Structure 1
Amino acid sequence: MLAIVNTPRNETPIELREVAEPQVADDEAIVEVRAFSLNRGELALLARRPEGWQPGQDIAGIVVKRAADGSGPETGTHVVGLAEQGGWAQRVALATDRLAVLPEHVNFAQAAALPMAGHAALRILRFGDMLLGKRILITGAAGGVGRFAVQLAALAGAEVTGVVGRPERAEGLRELGASEVITQIERAQGLFDVILESVGGASLTSALQLITPHGTIVVFGNSSGEETPFSLYHLFGHEGIRLQTFFSYHPDTTTTLSADLATLVTLVEAGKLRAPIGLETSWHEFIPALTALQDRQIQGKAVFHVSF
């Protein structure tokens, strides 16, 4: 079968190659991948992983071999899943607790945009408990996680302010549910009950001054690459705040993965959640898309269709 493999020593970081069929455990199904999406976090993995490693997490496709233990979807079922690796391929083995069945009216491209970013957005918003009527600030709102978080927070009844790096990155965020979109966190007005912070550095320092007493800041990224200096004086007047970290790749975040994926695709089918696809193309066009994503030229998710 064909798969994208890591080639960090070559002129291009990846290559489409013939590889062995996936090895399968008893609790794993073989999925024929019809579409997959790319996450920004995977770009860093390409530089760190060895030659020949097979990347890929977000996939959607058709079960071609049911798990030997009888768990999970039957052969022929359309599914969405989150792999640890190896998903950018014609076929992948996936544990059945990492799969969800696709509703009839959710296509493979929509589904492939959901797993990592949608699941992360759902999980970080849960730290805010009941969101109805709360003010929420989301940094990195134009990214994959950010666009899902804006929609899910607005759907839950929150008043959402999104922070983006450039004015053009704000496109479409109000339609997704943002009440306000700003280009610098320092321009945020008032205090917020929940802040979802993915930039780090000076942005996180500012967030500490914008949180309400007993509010929650969820740190789920550090796209700036900066350290975050702050003094305890920044916290005066903000008693009882909670600073919560979230890393989507930690093993215990997958305990509700199948149910969470089912929730996301159900919302998409109902028209309540939009898969924010900024680019949809063939996997043969992966290299140009990778460059565009690195340069933040893609609004939302990049999705690739797999050919056979």
Structure 2
Amino acid sequence: MKALVNTPAGLAVHTVADPFPAPDQALIAVRSFSLNRGELDLLAARTEDWRPGQDIAGVMVEPAADGSGPAAGARVVALAEDSGWAELAAVSTARLAELPDSVDVEQAAALPLAGRAALNTLRIGGNLLGKRVLVTGATGGVGQLQVQLAVLAGAEVTAVGRDEAADLLLKRGARSVVPAVTEAEGLFDLITESVGGETLEAAVTRVAPGGTVVVFGASSRRKAAVNLYDFIGHEGARLVSYLSYADPTPVSADLRTLVDLVATGSLQPPVGFQADWNQVHNALEGLRNRTFHGKAVLTIP
């Protein structure tokens, strides 16, 4: 089969051996996959025949030998451990979900990692009905999903994003859009923070007493200076980290939740770039330079 392999010479399509599934793994013919920002760093660091790829969607070729999961021919979305940017992928049935008929594989491929991060960062904030939520980095894949899911949960959402994305974020359900945390009015019960540096420092000044700031990214690459005295006026507020690799929630259940919401029209997958997989370098460059909002989704003919 063909697969994208990262070598010292760069990322390119190579011919590799077909995967050999473990008893609890299904063999999936990948029809679409998406790129995550964290993979930019991994591609720079892992150059010895590394096989990238986690977010995939496609068709079941062989069901798991242990009898778990969907039957052959079912369309599925999956969160692979790695090696997903390929014509075939072996994935545990605990990490996939069958797609409703109305959900395209291209839509589904944008959901796994970003969708789980959005769901579970919001869950840290508890019941959001009637609460005020502030989403930083709202134009990205996770951010767009956080805005929509928080609105669905009954929250009043303020999104932090660039001016040119204001219309998009308002369509996603945000009550208001601001260019910086410092321009958000009032205090918030939950703040999801993915930028770091001065943005995280500002988030502490906007969290309500007893509220929560969930830190799940540091796209600015800058460290924040926060100390005890910053919490005066924000007593009882907490800073909580979210790391996707340590998320204990069942993957398949989260994927089913996400695709069911897409099927009902309640959730719009954040696809900002879509092309054939031979355009992977253009997709990576656009992701690196933030030339589109949301996820890059590539298809395998």
- SS at 2:244's partner residue? coil
Q: Post-superposition, which runs of at least 4 consecutive aligned residues in structure 1 deviate over 3 A? A: none
Secondary structure of 2:119's partner?
A: helix
Q: Which amino acid in structure 2 is aligned with residue 3 of structure 1? A: A
Structure 1 Cα separation of the partners of residues 51 and 227 of structure 2: 43
Aligned-pair identity in percent equals 53
Q: Which residue of 2 aligns with 1:44?
A: 41
Residue equivalent to 1:261:
255
Instruction: Report the equivalent of 2:6.
Output: 6
Which residue in 2 is equivalent to 1:151?
A: 148
Q: CA deviation at 1:231?
A: 2.5
Equivalent of 2:279 in 273, 285, 289: 285
Secondary structure, counterpart of 1:61 in structure 2 = strand
The corresponding residue for 2:108 is: 111
SS of aligned partner of 1:249: helix
CA contact (8 A) 1:140 1:199 kept: yes
1:177 deviates by: 0.6
Aligned equivalent of 1:71: 68
Gaps of 5+ in 1: none
The structure 2 residue matched to 1:201, chosen from 192, 197, 200, is 197
**Structure 1 residue identity aligned to 2:141:** G
More divergent stretch after superposition (234-243 vs 74-83) = 234-243
Cα distance in 2 for partners of 1:235, 1:53 equals: 44
- Alignment partner of 1:225 is 2:218: no
Counterpart Cα distance in 1 of 2:209 and 2:188: 9
1:301 aligns with 2:295: yes
Deviation at 1:254, TM superposition (A): 4.8
Question: Which amino acid letter does the alignment assign opposite residue 269 of structure 1?
Answer: A
What is the deviation of 1:171? Answer: 4.1
1:141 aligns with 2:138: yes
Q: Give the number of equivalent residue pairs.
A: 301
Partner of residue 100, structure 1 = 97
Is the deviation greater in 169-178 or in 100-109?
169-178
- Residue 214 in structure 1 maps to residue 184 in structure 2: no
Among 84, 87, 100, the alignment partner of 1:87 is: 84
Match of 2:238 among 242, 267, 275: 242
1:276 aligned to 2:283? no
Paired with 1:231 and 1:127, the residues of 2 have a C-alpha distance of 22
CA deviations over 1:255-278 (Å, ceiling 9, x no partner): 411001000000000000001111
Q: Is the 8 A contact 1:28 1:66 kept in 2?
A: yes
Cα 1:111–1:254 change in 2 (3 A) is farther
The 2-side partners of 1:90 and 1:231 are apart by 49
Provide TM-score, normalisation by structure 1. Answer: 0.96
The answer for unaligned runs of 5 or more in structure 2 is: none
Could you report, residue by residue, the CA deviation over 1:102-161 in whole angstroms, capped at 9, with x for unpaired residues?
A: 001101001001101011100100011111111100000000000000000011111101
Matches within 5 A, 1:162-181: 162-164=159-161, 166-181=162-177
Residue 128 of structure 2: aligned partner: 131
**C-alpha distance in structure 2 between counterparts of 1:16 and 1:170, whole Å:** 37
Asked if 1:59 corresponds to 2:56, the answer is yes
